[in-house]
Amino acid sequence: MPAANLCDADRTQAPEPRRWRTIFISDIHLGARACQADAFLDFLRHHESDAIYLIGDIVDFWSLRRSPVWLQSHNDVLQKLLRKARKGTKIVFIPGNHDDGVRGYCGMRFGAIEIRRDAVHKAADGRRYLVMHGDEFDVVVRYARWLAFLGDRAYEFLIQCNRPLNLVRRWFGFGYWSLAAYLKLRVKSAVNFIGEFEEAIAAEAKKRGADGVICGHIHHMADRTIDGVRYVNCGDWVESCSAIAEDYDGRLHQIRWEVGAAAPARAEPTPVPALGPSLGKAAAGAMAANWAAQAKPIAVVQTDNSKA
């Protein structure tokens, strides 16, 4: 990660949550066994913002279809986001491929949460960023959905392998290490896929006249310039526990988080009820209706982010 592009978050402990203009989050994967919901809750406790973009794969319906698991911490994440919305935080939810059932509700507002197919964010310095999940530029997801499901299972297996591996590493005093991330950056086909994805989504941002693009999907945090377009990826909350935050000068900061990361020298800027065999638009609608019921009353937040 080029230090010139993304500024590291402060390493000092603050007595109050740090305030940002905008926070960008993607790929939490609530409902998946590998979701690090506790770390994300800890992150939310230590960071406040005027606006939050949830950039896809927030709820993992693919995992919920296979083996429904919904821990209390997963529910707490939704409740925490709703509380932030009630207190005036602008929240824009851009569904991804794992929660694509919600895409049928794009353009609608449920309580204080606005659902969008994509968005253009105007930063404090005047730069315009296209904000989207990015699965539209994943040829496997678009044209070989069965292969995407197979790849998802393989990725889930690698994540599960991380647990015993890192247990042994902790015994010997080593830090966290991800087998899945290692293979992603070492296997030639995976590296080529990441490069092609980045170039395709940057080209789309340029086509739309944006200065940059902020996305997720591939679980690989990055910040680089591609053909004059700034490409920024938020990472994920399965492996890297990372986010992008914009300060009030328009600068973008990278944050990698661990539980207890607010301590000095640590910080860098119940089973789900049965939902049936399929979790499509009906389930997504029920979830959205539940959010709306819990989110009122609240004043409508302006959708122009330049006023956020």
In the block, residue with structure tokens 């500024």: 7
Q: What is the pLDDT of residue 258?
A: 76
Q: Is the pLDDT confidence value at 115 over 90?
A: yes
The closest of 63, 59, 21 to 40, measured between CA atoms, is 59
Q: Residues near 162 by Cβ (< 8 Å), separated by ≥ 6?
A: 177, 178, 179, 180, 239
Q: What is the mean pLDDT of residues 266-287?
A: 40
Which tens digits make up the pLDDT trace of 161-201? Answer: 566 655 665 676 766 656 565 555 555 445 556 778 899 99
Q: What helix, strand, coil percent values describe the chain, rounded to 5?
A: 40, 20, 40
Of all residues in the chain, the percent with pLDDT exceeding 70 is 62
Q: Is the pLDDT confidence value at 262 over 80?
A: no
Higher pLDDT, 105 or 170: 105
Higher pLDDT, 19 or 268: 19
H/E element, 124 = none
What domains are there in the chain, each with its CATH number? 7-307 (3.60.21.10)
Structure-block tokens of residue 76: 């707490």
The answer to whether 183 touches 161, Cβ cutoff 8 Å, is no
Q: What is the pLDDT of residue 102?
A: 92
H/E element, 289 = helix 281-295
126 vs 76: CA distance, rounded Å: 35
Of all residues in the chain, the percent with pLDDT exceeding 90 is 49
Q: What is the pLDDT of residue 263?
A: 38
92 vs 234: CA distance, rounded Å: 15
The answer to whether 132 touches 170, Cβ cutoff 8 Å, is no
66 vs 73: CA distance, rounded Å: 20
